[in-house]
Amino acid sequence: MKLIGKFDTRRDAEMAVERLVQQFDIDRTKIVVAPEGEANSAGTEEAGSDNAAGMPSPEARDDAELNGRVVVTVEVSDDVAAAEVHDAFGEFDAAEQGAK
């Protein structure tokens, strides 16, 4: 079964992936991260390195690709792994969750 989480920020999607790999031992090859639409996207909100630069680089940034949510798809084979994926998606504020 494939589980899907849609995240508003690339940072939240990446944190969920790291939780799945590091804590729940889900094989990274079973995880796909992609934009929700056709265009590249860092999510719908700036976060992490997409935020404005701080000192010593005071120039504002406006180059974050905010073209839709970041979708994480995880292939699992049992209900225990599915529950772990669901927990990780929830911990990092997946805006939507579903199955395929």
- pLDDT score at 37: 75
- pLDDT score at 40: 66
| CA–CA distance, 80 with 68 (Å, rounded to integer) | 30
Q: What is the pLDDT of residues 44-90, one digit of tens each?
A: 566 655 555 555 555 655 556 666 788 999 999 999 999 999 999 99
| CA–CA distance, 18 with 70 (Å, rounded to integer) | 15
| CA–CA distance, 100 with 96 (Å, rounded to integer) | 13
Amino acid at 44: T
- pLDDT score at 85: 95
Q: How confident is the model at residue 100 (pLDDT cuts 50, 70, 90)?
A: confident
CATH placement of domain 2-49+65-99? 3.30.70
pLDDT at 94 > cutoff 60: yes
Ranges of each domain in the chain = 2-49+65-99
Query: In the 3-class helix/strand/coil scheme, how is the chain assigned residue by residue?
Result: CEEEEEECEHHHHHHHHHHHHHCCCCCHHHEEEEECCCCCCCECCCCHHHCCCCCCCCCCCCCCCCCECEEEEEECCCHHHHHHHHHHHHHCCCCEEEEC
Q: What is the pLDDT of residues 15-34, one digit of tens each?
A: 999 999 999 999 999 999 99
